[in-house]
Amino acid sequence: MRALVVEDDPDLNRQIAEALGDAGFAVDTAFDGEEGHFLGDTEPYDVVILDIGLPKQDGIRVLEAWRGGERTMPVLILTARDQWSEKVAGFDAGADDYVAKPFHMEEVLARVRALVRRAAGHATAEITCGPVRLDTRASRVTVSGNPIKLTALEFRLLSYLMHHAGRVVSRSELIEHLYDQDFDRDSNTIEVFVGRVRKKLGVDVIHTVRGLGYSLAAPEDAA
């Protein structure tokens, strides 16, 4: 899963990015509206955290430009506590949710997880595929109730596949959603990570679709 944080306060930007990273996201950051607009317009994100009050280009204009360009990723806006007009303007521009400053980081993470789940068609915090269960709240994976220890990239790969169970995910799509902007991406490493995850899970839930990519059975089909 890949996230973009657009926030001009360096400390707050860093705190949000670190919290998202600890929660299993690959994170890109921007500190003004122009940079944020460019990244959101050219990179595939699973979720964006967007401050309303940004230099160079305010968050509302950035969001309107994304939606006008048919960018559909979930967007959580950050607003001033008592500025109800910002919240209304944000929703009218295409925001999916908001958090008012100051906020507790756990609330931001909970709302981000909910946005990602809903965008992928999942209603609950736990996603299952056969004996494999992904707890999005705790970033925890179990197989038949037994915890599985995964590296950050292995968890990110399995999480993306489980969020998108029931369809084929190409290697290029996985590359785009597993790594941040500055990572040296190599398509050959995807096969390595898939092999590692399969071995650690010990169950046959990740299927290779020759020439296309990988798929997991949809949760209702894997039960």
pLDDT digits (tens, 9 = 90+) for 184-217: 666 678 888 899 999 999 988 999 998 889 998 7
pLDDT digits (tens, 9 = 90+) for 122-165: 878 899 988 999 998 888 999 999 999 999 889 999 999 999 98
Q: Which of 204, 209, 47, 212 lies closest to 130 in space, CA to CA?
A: 204
Quote the CA–CA distance of 160 and 206 in Å, as a whole number: 12
Considering the segment(s) 126-222 as one domain, its CATH architecture is: Orthogonal Bundle (1.10)
Q: Which of 146, 153, 163 lies closest to 24 in space, CA to CA?
A: 153
- What pLDDT, on the 0 to 100 scale, is given for residue 222? 39
Domain boundaries, the chain: 2-119, 126-222
- What pLDDT, on the 0 to 100 scale, is given for residue 131? 92
- Quote the percentage of the chain above a pLDDT of 70: 94
Name the class of domain 2-119.
alpha beta
Strands 132-135 and 126-129: antiparallel
Residue 97 has pLDDT above 50, yes or no: yes
